[in-house]
Amino acid sequence: MKIEVKNGSFSYPKKDRLVLDKINFGLSEGDIMAVLGPNGAGKTTLLRCLLGFLKWKTGETLIDGENRTNITTQDFWKKVSYVPQVREKPPAYTVEEMVMLGRSGHFGAFSRPGHKDVEAVNKALERTGLDKIAKRLCSELSGGEYQMVLIARALASEAKVLVLDEPESNLDFKNQLMVLNMVKEIANEEMTCIFNTHYPAHALRWANLSFMLSRSGESIFGPTEEVITEKNISDLFGVRAVIGQVESEEGKILDVVPVAPL
Amino acid sequence: MENTCSVLSSQLATEGKDRKQKYLIREEVTVLKRVEIGSANSTKTVRLRVDDAFSPGQWIFLIALPILCLLIGCCAGRMLISPTDIFSAIGQGIGIKSDVSSQITTVVWSIRIPRLLMACLVGCGLSLAGCAFQSVFSNPLATPDTLGAASGAGFGAVLALLLGFNMVGVQLLAFVFGIGAVAITGLAGIGLNNSKTTPILAGIMISSLFSSLISFVKFTADTESQLPEITYWLLGSLEGSGYETLALGAPPIIICTIILLLLRWRMNLLPLPMDEAISSGVNIRRLRIVTEVCAAMMTASCISMCGQVGWVGLIVPHICRMRFGSNHRVLLPASISIGIAFMIIVDTLARTISPKEIPISVLTAIVGAPFFIYLLRKNRGWAI
């Protein structure tokens, strides 16, 4: 599924300063886009506008060429699913109950989940390797496990676009790898993924497209290797950085090392 | 020299021994811990049921408990009636002839049964309302009165008593003011932002406004005749239960109970953070409003029937959450069952343990608080 933003700009009510100015990007099936930028540049605002939690001041979101405003909320959330950043303590549901909530848009208010819903939940649980802890309470899981539950919930909704808000922040190395590898796998199945991140290295390794925001409202969009360069990082992040190559069993991996603030 | 050496070596030896002992102790501790974790896990898997529905044992418990309480409630009282007589009297009432005395039939049909029915309605209504508000606001401290329904209803009733209305008038005015208070809270707190705390704050304000108004009415009431009546009403009692009261109060409670039960799958979305709930694709605003209105109607109706009964709506949902989990699919039916049982037990105690009837809100806390603390300790703390 194609998702595009054309000329999007946004400012908070009663404030003149544009947080986002002339945002343009487009993705199609199998693409992974990383959204990068320093604190306060509007990464989360961008995702919230894209998802419709905030309204673009000008510009539009297009899904398969159709304007977001012409699609009903219910239909929109069948095509797009959102994996939030874990901020609040999760409610005391079991993992499978939580994943079932991803199916809410698929059955009526007064009815119960059907056979198809149960199947979708089971598939999502197996897919993410959560079937072993399906009966455990979300409130008792580790951060990495709960992040995976949220991804499973998004998968259960069978949407074609996955939007993740800093999926790997607050996670340890192993969980970062597991979560981002999962995103890659999902994209390989003809899904479109967008994620926010603080780590340019993660963009280089997992995203084929990148979108870089600066605090002054400029933005750069393109293939990751063209966007994440030493020059762009120093311009937009205000940090002198070195991009180098590391040899590993998994092949050559690009890494970004921040050297000194400018 | 040699001396110091030997002293040193012996010191070293004892230290080594100490260390070894310490090590051993530590090993024991880790083993102990492992066992603890193991047992904790096993109890947890028991607590989380397999298909997030009830096990047969739980079904039997949740159905049998209220029935048993009903039977005990029917037998106990100033006049003790045996269970066989109860059944005969009930039979008599619906046309099956038996040799039970007409006095017993009268007591059962015109005193015990309406009162028990009222206890069922109030227990069910307040527990569900508490459950609903806790979920809507993701707040474990939410009660049926969170949006001001109980204080508003209290004020309506007190006002009616001051104006000398009959009991039907009191009940109607209480209900109207209960709903009115929630409407004012809604107007004051809705549409400001997506926060779940804003409506609670607005509710606290409206609640305290109506509490002050109640105090004002008490202040102006006639101390000889009206004030005792008002005070007694505020403490809550099921004493005045009759079929008239029930006919007026039951419909809102029954209708809202059915609506909430039908929504039980959907209600699981309520405790999620706003954005997550919206991203499910469900119209979450509508769901929240329907839930809040149902809960407020049930609260206003309960309070208008029996006065300000506190506590039930706070502790019953928590007891059920601890025992059955937070999934509304099980939480709501469990709350109904436990709420009914709790209310009948409290009311039966209220009218049996002393010659003069004890106000029910006094007893709900005396019975409820220790039991709740016990559960809290057993669960090692608690969060929704």
Whether B18 is covered by a domain: the verdict is no
ipTM field: 0.88
Does residue B139 contact residue B200 with C-beta atoms inside 8 Å?
yes
- From chain A, the residues in CB contact with B327 under 8 A are 93-94, 97
What pTM, to 2 d.p., does this model score?
0.85
Which chain A residues contact residue B45 at CB under 8 A?
Answer: 135
* Partner-chain contact B279 A112, CB within 8 Å: no
What's the pLDDT score for residue B241?
Answer: 78
Q: Which residue among A89, A97, A105 places its CB closest to the CB of B280?
A: A105
Q: Is residue B5 part of a domain?
A: no
- Note the pLDDT of residue B179: 95
Q: Which of A197, A200, A195 is nearest to A239 (CA)?
A: A200
CATH number at B164 reads 1.10.3470.10
Residue B12 domain flag: no
Per-residue model confidence as pLDDT tens digits over B25-41 = 443 333 333 333 333 33
In a domain, B234, yes or no: yes
Q: Least CA distance to B382: which residue of chain A? A: A92
Asked if the structure places residue B1 within a domain, the reply is no
pLDDT digits (tens, 9 = 90+) for A73-120: 989 999 999 999 887 788 889 999 999 999 998 888 888 888 889 999
- How far is A57 from A55, CA to CA, in rounded Å? 6
- pLDDT for residue B143: 92
Count the domains in chain B: 1
Judged against a pLDDT cut of 50, whether residue A41 lies above it is answered with yes
Confirm whether B14 is domain-assigned. Answer: no
| Half-sphere exposure at residue B309, Cβ-oriented, CA atoms within 13 angstroms | 39
Inside any domain, residue B241: yes
Dihedral Cα A221, A226, A231, A235, nearest 10 deg: 0
Judge whether A53 is closer than 8 Å to chain B, CB to CB. Answer: yes
Q: What b/e readout covers B17-39, taking b as 16+ CB neighbours within 10 angstroms?
A: eeeeeeeeeeeeeeeeeeeeeee
Quote the DSSP letter at residue A137.
Answer: B
Q: Which stretch of DSSP H or E encloses residue B85?
A: helix B83-93
Q: Which residues of A touch B265 (CB under 8 A)?
A: 104, 107, 111-113
* Residue B382 pLDDT: 65
- Which H helix or E strand runs over B304? helix B284-306
The shortest CB-CB distance from B52 to any of A76, A94, A102 is to: A94
State the Cα–Cα distance between residues B134 and B313, nearest whole angstrom.
Answer: 10
Residue B13 within any structural domain of the chain: no
Q: In this structure, what token pair is assigned to residue B339?
A: 């709420």
What is the spatial distance between Cα B22 and Cα A128, in angstroms, rounded to a whole number?
43
Partner residue opposite B279 with nearest CB, options A77, A96, A113: A77
Range of the domain at B134: 26-379
Q: Which of residues 102-161 of A touch B (CB under 8 A)?
A: 102, 104-105, 107, 109-113, 135-137, 139-140, 157
User: Is residue A221 within 8 Å of residue A8, measured between CB atoms?
Assistant: no
* Closest to A154 (Cα-Cα) out of A99, A89, A197, A88: A99
A216 has a pLDDT exceeding 60: yes
Instruction: Give CA–CA dist B253/B96, Å, rounded.
Output: 31
Nearest residue, CB atoms, A137 vs list B48, B50, B271: B48
Q: What is the mean pLDDT of each run of 10 residues along chain B (384 residues)?
A: 46 47 40 36 32 77 95 90 89 82 88 94 96 92 91 94 91 95 88 79 93 94 89 85 90 97 93 90 92 95 90 91 89 96 94 88 85 81 64
At CA B324, angle to CA B373 and CA B332, rounded to 5? 105
Chain B contacts of A137, Cβ < 8 Å? 44, 48, 325
A89 touches chain B (CB under 8 A): yes
| Cβ separation A104–B269 shorter than 8 A | yes
Whole-number Å distance between alpha carbons of A59 and B288:
31
